[in-house]
Amino acid sequence: MTKTKLMYCVALAILVTGCSSGGDDDDYEAQPEVTPTGPGAEDTGIDPDADTPAAEDPAPADPIDPVDPPPVDDPIAEPPPPPIAGPTPAAPSIGCGGPAPKAGERTIAVGGDNRRYILDLPTGYDPAKAYPMVFSFHGRGDEQKDKTKNYKATNGVVETMGDAAIVVHPRGMPVPTAAEYPERNSWETVGERDLAFFDAMYEELRGEACVDENRVFTIGMSMGGLFASRLACERGDVVRAFSAVASAPPQKSAAECVGRAAAWAAHDPEDKLIPFENGLAQRQYWLDANMCGEETRQLKNGCVEYTNCDVGYPVRWCEYSLAEQPSSRNHEWPGFAAGESAVFFQSLD
């Protein structure tokens, strides 16, 4: 056998042996391809008998830096607080821009009765400016205290608010079903007669005067306070807030109210005509209606504000004493009530 054939056989045997070794196809190590030499073989320019220089070791590669751990996402940032709402814009009534309405005593027909009320306009009334409107209700028989039979509630509302608001003084009628003094002018705790009177006055005045329909308030003492509170329930879609002194809560439950209203209430613990328990019931009624918690902040004149009520529907409560007025039976309008009520109404902007 020639040297060339011998080398060829050895190469073939090595190739066959490498191809037949066991294991998965993916695990085998490929052998280098052997190029045949000798007569007839392609001349590659390489002498097979020449000593093959040893392969040089590859240059050392730069060490691979360990992979940094994946960045940890920053905690999700809290969303920015909502913008603080500005004052509720005025809602001018259809009477804006027209001539000034007739002030003083007025009469309106309601359900077959000629009902009376007094209208006080702000000094320098501007028909292009939408004014808050305050309905001020007298107590039972209050008109009998004045020799002129003037049924304006003597509570300082006009003196306190009159240049900033339109003030309306409705006159009550006898209530035959009343437990006491049914012959005296007062306000119904149930029934539609006085509700219809309020509706008629409001419709007439919003058509003649420039009224801010977002700022309609009711205020009163004793039976007048009870009716002011009743309107805040049964006409809560009109009345933004009320103020009531020495009164009691509405007869209907808060679930039966039409809308809601912010509440300001005050009562003398020694009241001889409307018991203090009725005042406490008034306070609790509106705390429940306006979803208030127990947290309060102290105000002056024995008043507190419940600070954890539904937004826009705060409740303020005042306890006062008129013990220095022995003939009052502790059932009088306190001197601070008109001013504190005005401050409360203005705070609702």
Backbone angles phi, psi at 198, to 5 degrees: -60, -45
pLDDT value at position 154? Answer: 72
> How many Å apart are CA 302 and CA 317, to the nearest integer?
8
User: Can you say how many angstroms the Cα of residue 45 is from the centroid of all Cα atoms in its chain?
Assistant: 93
Instruction: Say which residues have a Cβ less than 8 Å from residue 240's Cβ, sequence separation at least 6.
Output: 214, 215, 216, 217, 261, 262, 345, 348
Q: Specify the number of domains making up the chain.
A: 1
Q: What is the pTM of this model?
A: 0.75
The number of angstroms, rounded, from the C-alpha of 222 to the middle of its chain's C-alpha atoms is 31
Q: Is residue 336 part of a domain?
A: yes
Residue 149 in any domain: the answer is yes
Strand order in the sheet with 296-298: 104-110, 113-120, 166-170, 131-137, 211-221, 241-245, 262-267, 315-319, 303-306, 296-298
Determine, yes or no, domain membership for 95: no
pLDDT at 86: 58
**Integer Cα distance of 220 and 265 in angstroms:** 10
What is the reported pLDDT for 150? 73
Q: Which residues contact 175 (CB under 8 A, 6 or more apart)?
A: 182, 186, 187, 188
Q: Which of 276, 265, 275 is nearest to 303 (CA)?
A: 265
Task: State the pLDDT at residue 88.
Answer: 84
- Angstrom distance (rounded) from CA 125 to CA 119: 12
Residues of the chain scoring pLDDT < 70: 1-86, 143-149
Residue 33 within a domain: no
Strand-pair partners of 108: 115
Q: Are 309 and 292 in contact (CB under 8 A)?
A: yes
Calpha distance 26→325 (Å, rounded): 108
Q: What pLDDT sits at residue 28?
A: 31
pLDDT of residue 158: 93
Q: Does residue 212 fall inside a structural domain?
A: yes
Residue 79 in domain: no
* Residues spanned by the domain of 201: 104-347
Give the pLDDT confidence score for residue 328 in this predicted structure.
Answer: 77
Run of H or E residues at 243: strand 241-245
**Amino acid at position 278, single letter:** N
Specify the pLDDT at position 272.
92
User: What is the total residue count of the chain?
Assistant: 349
Burial of 312 (0-12, 13-18, 19+ CB in 10 A): middle
- 140: CATH: 3.40.50.1820
Residue 38 lies in a domain: no
Strands 262-267 and 241-245, by their bridges, are parallel
Residue 78 lies in a domain: no
pLDDT at 325: 77
Cβ atoms of residues 219 and 242 within 8 Å = yes
Per-residue model confidence (pLDDT) at position 316:
98
